[in-house]
Amino acid sequence: MARNKEAVVLLLDVGPSMHSVLPEVERVCSMLVQKKLIFGKSDEVGFVLFGTDDTYNELQKEVGGYEHIVVLRNIGVVDGNAVGFLQNLPRGNFPGDFIDAIVVGIDLLIKKFGPTNKGKQRICLITDAKYPIKEPYEGTKEDQVNTISQMMQTHGIRLDCIVIREKLPGADLRVMEENDSLLDQFSRKAIAKIVHVDSPTSLLGALKTRNISPVTVFRGDLELSSTMKIKVWVYKKTSEEKFPTLKKYSGKAHSSDKFATYEVKVDYEYKSMEDPDKVVPPEQRIRGYRYGPQVVPISSAEWEAVKFKPEKGVKLLGFTDASNILRHYYMKDVYIFIPEPGNQKAIVAVSAIARAMKDMNKSAILRCVWRQGQGNVVIGVLRPNISSVDNIPDSFYFNVLPFVEDVREFQFPSFRSFPSSWQPNEQQQEAADNLVKMLDLTPSEGEEVLQPDYTPNPVLEVSYCFTQTVSPTCYDKIRRFYHFLDLKSKQPDADVPPLDRNLRGITEPDPAVFSCHKSVIDNFHKNFELKEKPKKKKSSKRAWRGKPSASSEEEGVDDFEAMMARRDSSKWVSKAIKEMQNHVSDLLENSYEGDAYSKAIECLLALRKGCILEQEPKEFNRFLLGLYEKWKDTDLANFFELLSSKNITLISQKEAPDSNVTEEDAKNFPVKAELKSQ
Amino acid sequence: MDLDPEGLFRDDSDSESEFYQEKDFTKEFVVYLVDASPKMFGAAGSDEDEKTDTHFHVAINCISQSLKAQIIGSSYDEVAVCFFNTKEKKNLQDLNGVYVFNVTDRECLDRPTARLIKEFFYVEDTFMSNIGSRYGIVSGSQENSLYNALWVAQALLRKGSSKSVSKRILLFTNEDDPFGSITGATKTDMIRMTLQRAKDAQDLGISIELLPLSRPDEGFNVSIFYAELLGLEGDEISHFLPSAGEKLEDMTDQLRKRMFKKRKVKTIRFSIANGICIEVNTYALIRSTSPGSIMWLDSITNLPLKTERSFVCADTGALVEEPRIYFHPYKNEIIKFSTDELSKIKKVSNGQLHLLGFKPLDCLKDYHNLRPSTFIFPTDEEVVGSTRIFIALHRSMLRLQRFALAFYGSLYRPQLVALVAQDEITGSSGQVEPPGMHMIYLPYSDDIRHVEELHMSADAIAPRATDDQIKKASALLRRIDLKDFSVCQFTNPALQRHYGILQALALGEDEMPDIKDETLPDEEGLSRPGIVRALQEFKISVYGENYDQEEANAAAAKGCGSEASRKRKAMAETAARESASYDWADLAENGKLKDLTVVELKYYLTAHNLPVTGKKEALISRILTHLGK
């Protein structure tokens, strides 16, 4: 049985004021269903629309009222068709009443589950809450909310409400305030969470499309000392949601095989180096740990006996000024320490410490061993998290800090030490100040664009999207892997969809923001000059392509030096030497009455210098001796006399230790070489 | 070796991209050149200081530490240790006053080994008897030990192309005027020769770095001789040593910082607006160090094993090529993806850093973190003017208390990042925090979990601490205050132990090293009366007087059986009762067990304290085994 099975009823406002954001609503809801198809196959979903032209719900049939509410799909296990319901939602022309819709939603859940399944039922309401809700038959609206909250609580139903309002003038403020206060009442009286968003992108981030039930990392005492302990539970606060793991595909199965898995298994075999045919059985294998050039074999049993085994426990080392810990030292994903649920004393103790830390701007340093048998300890910093919601206790965030071994203390030049040509002048500094001030992502109090909490991962969005399309017309509306996955289920040859407009806002600057501060940006642009230096790599590559029949030897020397100077791979050096040698040979071969001698000498000088620098004396010596052998009996022999006058000798041991030519031998070239060859 | 069968799909971590970068990196060859003149053996501290540490000891200590760090972090780099101004000589060139320290099974310039670390650690004990100390440059002698030392070091660094390997000489000395004892033409001659030697080395791509040791009362004057040897000019001389180490610890600290060469991860473009695109280098200043990967060995021969990977079709058992197609089940179907499609999905940006805007620093919350940050520093190498723009923005952001929000389109995990400007911080031992920006990887909404809401109780208002309780907590905070806490003051005890064990085993020692765990709380400090009192007051204020007693009672109550344990007990009793009504031996004998239901089978298992997991067949076989059939 799926332990985490949950049931969700989506209550979607399709009234007139919602029409502009409905495409996004369709999208985010499709996403929810698509993810359920992958991660929660036995989860159940139901869809209810309100503000519709039609009315279709059981409550209306049973007790009357509840108009303009349509149950689009009753609660049931997710299936492929569920996505279909959410394409092209009907646009309604009536103001929606979200209280009625919640009641219908609760009714669906109660009828389906009765008293069972407590705590695993959720209602997601997406509305703009712009229209007044109807006066109840008896009592006030507040009373009605109380009754509903009571019912939700007894049946263990949670409410997630997303209020989406783009800044539109002409809305009735009074009505919106009343509605907001009603919704807030839910969050006080029942387990409910109200989120306000102001852009479609945030909507994508606000609805939790995947239901992960968190597990505690640690339950136990936070030890301030051996006598004072606070009971806490520790969870992960952030954790990277990864790209789903795909399986390797094998098409070998026979087409008629209904139970084919199409999977590919990966087998590992360990073979001895000397005898590649011999497979070493697992019990004969032993782990080797590297220590410098040595590999130290240790069996798991031995290792178990000697390795570091700290005692489980979370201990306080002390408090320190928050400024002692810079933000960039946070190492990993973040943990949250909450007081043991239901333990009033622990809640108060955590609250007292957290608030004192906040007041005094202090952080606490902890040493944590989450589990018995864990092979390492964690040092980290505890920061207060003061709760703004009445029924959520105060808690702490915990970030892992580095050990000495983890920090590389590289030294960087001070900005002050840079030449003045690299320093901004006053005018430039002002342009930069303006840019930083104007490109503000927090345009007004309490507003923040691209808040991480509401910003979806574009890659995951896109990938979910790939999975989806039902018909070509829907193609435009959907996004990447999960969309693509769905897409491919219908059209095997579908192309990867482009990034959606709303998601582009995450990966690229918002053109609206940038165009409205055009003057600031232009001013910035005007003040700073950027010049692209030609890339060394490319230029030398290009130049060398035209070789070796270089028109002028100077170019040949330049290219040679450029090539020798390349640091990305040692093969450039040998290539440069080779090409230079060919070049010299060509020059000499084509020389007439010594007209190419000076060029050849220049090249040889460059080659000689390069070979010394690169510690390749043998290359040069071999080449020079080779040249001599080849041409000593021809009319080029006088070239070699020229060499000694230009100080071009063999490279001696003194100049490059790798050489096997003594200084004396080198000086005596070519005489000595003659002796040797005889 | 650790193999990752899912290699392709685990790639969304930066660590992997860094790994690929590392391959491009050059290796590093270092020669530690340590002055061993009698002056180095004089006390390093000032007179009133009780410490008797010598500069020589400081240098040995630093090198020891860096060797240990190196064998863990970058064990492919090669090192040599060389003393000069020694009585004995040991070097290939047979030059006087230079002693190349080495151990068996190792070339002079080679990767550090366990033996080298161990023997070097104890080199001081036998230094005087085996190697000896003596002034090398004295009047009336033509010997120039500094020249000889540079020559030997240069010869040691002969191997390897200077293109692919970075070569360094680190010179430790406390003598700022090595030719002070001689005069006249000999002196000028010697200085000229030495400088020429240094220049030759530098021309061959060897960098020479000086790590001056000095006493607080007499500074190390670089300009006497070494400025010219190092090629320092003008301002650089005064910048060379921000402040001569005031304390020995500072000196050690400073030397440690300069032990490792700076390595960038990569160069990226940072697009600001309207086609303004500057270039920055990224550096991994903080990354968790893990005990390296393991290798599989043959336990008989201790030789490494070769791992072979083969792909087998799960349906037919046939060997297949490494598949290029992946699939995901969806709606009872198999959806196939090619590797190209997958990489297209992931590619949402071009690897650049895109500025999106700025936010006040308090928008960056404590839980907005996923991975260690990356440091960025401007470079004018290919785009001239980058540094100027970077500095201007850096200053504005610091002054206006804002961070930049940007999108970093790395191929592995495209992500929103916060760029937090960090001003340079210098301490007595030099730079503490370099100037630049730290790139902090922000989570997406998909990555943030709302755990707090998990245990939300309807209409039960969570209690908050009263002002008095907060006051008591504040008093406690003031008491247990770590004043000079700096972020990385602890060594990782697990790693230290790991390498301690490896070192002992590598050297064939029987005794396992005892590594001190620095991370344990200071029990002694915590038991000071002031702290104990503050704790007690806080405890009474939040928990009430008799908390311990209550807890003990609660624990005792738990002991006699919580609800769950009572239930378990009841279940076992029922099972035993029910189980007794079957004749198990008979059922097993006649193969009738399979006719029973799983529930019935479990009676037997529960009654006999056996595991009840698994499929029906597994249960039956477990019963049969237990019956001895």
A424: contact with B, CB 8 A cutoff:
yes
Cβ B152 vs Cβ B91: under 8 Å: yes
State the nearest Cα–Cα gap between A534 and chain B, in angstroms: 7
pLDDT score at B217: 66
The candidate with the shortest Cα–Cα distance to B437, out of A441, A327, A402, A433, is: A327
Task: Give kind and range of the element (H or E) at residue A110.
Answer: helix A98-113
Interchain pair A454, B445: CB under 8 A = yes
Q: Which of B67, B278, B315 to mutate to test the interface with A (most CBs of A within 10 A)?
A: B315
pLDDT score at A485: 65
State the nearest Cα–Cα gap between A26 and chain B, in angstroms: 19
Work out the average pLDDT over B512-541.
82
Q: Which of B425, B447, B469 is the last residue of a domain?
A: B447
Residue A28, CB-side half-sphere exposure with 13 Å CA sphere: 30
Same domain, residue pair B327 and B194:
no
Q: What are phi and psi of B302, to 5 degrees?
A: 60, 20
pLDDT digits (tens, 9 = 90+) for B571-604: 778 888 888 888 888 888 887 888 888 888 888 8
For the ranges B46-50, B464-468, B509-513, the maximum mean pLDDT occurs at: B464-468
Cβ B98 vs Cβ B83: under 8 Å: yes
Interchain pair A530, B449: CB under 8 A = no
Interchain pair B345, A481: CB under 8 A = yes
Percent composition of chain A: helix, strand, coil (DSSP 3-state, to 5):
45, 20, 40
pLDDT score at A489: 64
Work out the average pLDDT over B478-498.
82
Same domain, residue pair B589 and B525:
no
The candidate with the shortest Cα–Cα distance to A363, out of B419, B551, B525, B477, is: B477
Calpha distance B30→B109 (Å, rounded)? 8
Calpha distance B81→A444 (Å, rounded)? 62
Same domain, residue pair B111 and B153:
yes
**Chain A CA closest to residue B540:** A228
Interchain pair B273, A422: CB under 8 A = no
Cβ A430 vs Cβ A523: under 8 Å: no
Residues 6+ apart with CB under 8 A from A169: none
Low-confidence winner among A183-187, A649-653, B330-334, B566-570 (lowest mean pLDDT): B330-334
Which structure tokens are listed for A213?
């039930």
pLDDT score at A469: 34
Same domain, residue pair B248 and B128:
yes
Same domain, residue pair B530 and B510:
no
DSSP A373-436: T-SS-EEEEEEEE---STTS--EEEEEE---GGGB-------GGGS-GGGS--HHHHHHHHHHH
pLDDT greater than 80 at residue A642: no
Domain membership flag for residue B5: no
State the nearest Cα–Cα gap between A305 and chain B, in angstroms: 11
For the ranges A429-443, A545-559, A583-597, the maximum mean pLDDT occurs at: A429-443
3-state secondary structure of B556: helix
pLDDT score at A384: 92
Three-class SS of B196-248: HHHHHHHHCCEEEEEEECCECCECCCHHHCHHHHHCCCCHHHHHHCCCCCCCH
Domain membership flag for residue B9: no
Query: Number of folded domains in chain B?
Result: 6
A376: contact with B, CB 8 A cutoff:
yes
Angstrom CA distances, A22 to A17, A26, A126, B371, stand at: 10, 6, 10, 36
pLDDT digits (tens, 9 = 90+) for A359-396: 999 999 999 999 888 888 999 999 999 888 777 888 99
Angstrom CA distances, B217 to B48, B49, B53, B220, stand at: 11, 12, 16, 10
Interchain pair A435, B394: CB under 8 A = no
Using a CB-CB distance cutoff of 8 angstroms, which residues of chain B are in contact with residue A38?
A: 328, 330
Same domain, residue pair B341 and B407:
no
pLDDT greater than 70 at residue B153: yes
Residues 6+ apart with CB under 8 A from A243: A459, A460, A463, A481, B9, B12, B346
pLDDT score at A123: 86
Same domain, residue pair B422 and B554:
no
CB atoms within 10 A of CB B294: 15
Same domain, residue pair B131 and B240:
yes
* Beta bridge pairs of residue A218: A234
Split at pLDDT 50, 70, 90, the class of B389 is confident
Calpha distance A604→A598 (Å, rounded)? 10
Work out the average pLDDT over B362-384.
87
Domain membership flag for residue B4: no
pLDDT digits (tens, 9 = 90+) for A503-532: 666 667 767 667 777 777 888 888 787 777
Same domain, residue pair B107 and B145:
yes
Task: Give kind and range of the element (H or E) at residue A43.
Answer: none
3-state secondary structure of B191: helix
Q: What are the CB-based long-range contacts (under 8 Å, 24+) for A176-183?
A: A176/A129, A176/A130, A178/A132, A178/A141, A179/A98, A179/A129, A179/A130, A179/A132, A179/A133, A180/A129, A182/A99, A182/A133, A182/A141, A182/A142, A182/A145, A183/A129
pLDDT score at A477: 29
Spell A135-149 as b/e; 16+ CB within 10 A means b: eeeeeebeebbbebb
pLDDT score at A234: 92
Cβ B495 vs Cβ A405: under 8 Å: yes
The candidate with the shortest Cα–Cα distance to A639, out of A583, A674, A579, A592, is: A592
Work out the average pLDDT over A41-63.
83
Interchain pair A331, B372: CB under 8 A = yes
How many beta-carbon pairs under 8 angstroms link A with B?
713
CB atoms within 10 A of CB A2: 10
Which structure tokens are listed for A528?
């700073």
Spell A384-398 as b/e; 16+ CB within 10 A means b: bbebeeebbbbbbbb
Give the closest of A362, A486, A522 to B477, CB-based. A362
CB atoms within 10 A of CB B424: 16
A658: contact with B, CB 8 A cutoff:
yes
Domain membership flag for residue B50: yes
The burial of A561, by beta-carbon neighbours within 10 Å (0-12 exposed, 13-18 middle, 19 or more buried), is given as middle
Greater pLDDT, B303 or B539: B539
For the ranges A161-175, A438-452, B112-126, B542-556, the maximum mean pLDDT occurs at: B112-126
A residues 587-646 lying closer than 8 A (beta carbon) to B: 613-615
Cβ B149 vs Cβ B12: under 8 Å: no
Using a CB-CB distance cutoff of 8 angstroms, which residues of chain B are in contact with residue A614?
A: 161-163
A370: contact with B, CB 8 A cutoff:
no
CB atoms within 10 A of CB B414: 20
Domain membership flag for residue B246: yes
pLDDT score at A50: 87
Low-confidence winner among A245-254, A558-567, B307-316, B485-494 (lowest mean pLDDT): A558-567
State the nearest Cα–Cα gap between B488 and chain A, in angstroms: 5
Same domain, residue pair B29 and B171:
yes
Treating both helix axes as pointing N-terminal to C-terminal, what angle do B467-479 and B529-543 enclose, rounded to 10 degrees? 160
pLDDT score at B1: 34
State the nearest Cα–Cα gap between A631 and chain B, in angstroms: 32
pLDDT digits (tens, 9 = 90+) for A112-151: 887 776 667 888 888 887 787 777 777 787 888 888 888 8
pLDDT score at A382: 92
Using a CB-CB distance cutoff of 8 angstroms, which residues of chain B are in contact with residue A149?
A: 458
Same domain, residue pair B246 and B280:
no
Please provide the distance, in angstroms rounded to a whole number, between the alpha carbons at the two ends of chain B. Answer: 43
pLDDT greater than 90 at residue B438: yes
Using a CB-CB distance cutoff of 8 angstroms, which residues of chain B are in contact with residue A657?
A: 155, 158
Peptide bond into A548 cis (omega under 30): yes
Cβ A487 vs Cβ B351: under 8 Å: no
Residues 6+ apart with CB under 8 A from A118: A155, A156
Work out the average pLDDT over B65-85.
80
Give the closest of B331, B366, B535 to A399, CB-based. B366
Work out the average pLDDT over A103-115.
83
Residue B200, CB-side half-sphere exposure with 13 Å CA sphere: 19
Cβ A407 vs Cβ A326: under 8 Å: no
Three-class SS of B65-117: HHHHHHHHHCCCCEEEEEEECECCCECCCCCCCEEEECCCCCCCCECCCHHHH
A residues 49-88 lying closer than 8 A (beta carbon) to B: 79-80
Q: Which of B93, B369, B395, B454 to mutate to test the interface with A (most CBs of A within 10 A)?
A: B369
Q: What are phi and psi of B113, to 5 degrees?
A: -120, 170
Interchain pair A362, B490: CB under 8 A = no
Interchain pair B296, A285: CB under 8 A = yes
pLDDT-above-70 percentage for chain A: 78
Helix (H) and strand (E) counts in chain B = 20, 20
Q: What is the CATH number of the domain that holds B41?
A: 3.40.50.410
| CA R_g for chain A | 37
Domain membership flag for residue B471: no
Same domain, residue pair B138 and B210:
yes
pLDDT score at B127: 81
pLDDT digits (tens, 9 = 90+) for A652-674: 877 777 777 777 777 777 655 54
pLDDT greater than 80 at residue B145: yes
pLDDT score at B420: 92
pLDDT score at B74: 67
Work out the average pLDDT over A100-114.
84
Greater pLDDT, A20 or A502: A20
pLDDT greater than 80 at residue B18: no
Interchain pair A288, B367: CB under 8 A = no
Low-confidence winner among B242-251, B293-302, B347-356 (lowest mean pLDDT): B242-251
Work out the average pLDDT over B205-223.
75
Greater pLDDT, B227 or A254: B227
| Amino acid (one-letter) located at A133 | I
Cβ A422 vs Cβ B391: under 8 Å: yes
A515: contact with B, CB 8 A cutoff:
no
Phi-psi bin for A136: left (phi > 0), alpha (psi -120 to 50), beta?
A: beta
Which structure tokens are listed for B274?
């309207």
State the nearest Cα–Cα gap between A605 and chain B, in angstroms: 17
pLDDT score at A60: 80
Domain membership flag for residue B243: yes
pLDDT-above-70 percentage for chain B: 82
Calpha distance B221→B176 (Å, rounded)? 6
Kindly give the pairing relationship between strand B374-378 and strand B276-283: antiparallel
pLDDT score at A398: 94
- Give the sign of the dihedral formed by CA B343, CA B344, CA B350, CA B356: negative
pLDDT greater than 60 at residue B483: yes
| Residue labelled with tokens 């919640």 | A102
Which domain does B431 fall in, by range? 266-289+350-447
pLDDT score at A549: 36
Low-confidence winner among A423-437, B85-99, B323-337, B399-413 (lowest mean pLDDT): B323-337
Question: Residues in chain A, how many?
Answer: 678
pLDDT greater than 50 at residue B387: yes
Using a CB-CB distance cutoff of 8 angstroms, which residues of chain A are in contact with residue B444?
A: 205, 241, 452, 455-457, 460
Residues of B with catalytic function:
23
State if pTM tops 0.80: no
pLDDT greater than 90 at residue A169: no
Cβ A87 vs Cβ A26: under 8 Å: yes
Give the closest of A393, A423, A509 to B354, CB-based. A509
pLDDT score at A470: 28
pLDDT greater than 50 at residue B2: no
- Arithmetic mean of pLDDT over chain A: 76
Using a CB-CB distance cutoff of 8 angstroms, which residues of chain A are in contact with residue B65?
A: none
Kindly give the pairing relationship between strand B305-313 and strand B319-320: antiparallel
State the nearest Cα–Cα gap between A592 and chain B, in angstroms: 38
Work out the average pLDDT over A348-364.
90
Interchain pair B113, A270: CB under 8 A = no
Which structure tokens are listed for B200?
């030759």
Give the closest of B71, B449, B523 to A214, CB-based. B449
**Chain A CA closest to residue B343:** A496
Cβ A105 vs Cβ A127: under 8 Å: no
Calpha distance A105→A153 (Å, rounded)? 14
Percent composition of chain B: helix, strand, coil (DSSP 3-state, to 5):
40, 20, 40
Interchain pair B542, A418: CB under 8 A = no
DSSP A153-185: HHTTEEEEEEEE----TT--HHHHHHHHHHHHH
**Chain B CA closest to residue A566:** B163
Work out the average pLDDT over B197-224.
78
Domain membership flag for residue B3: no
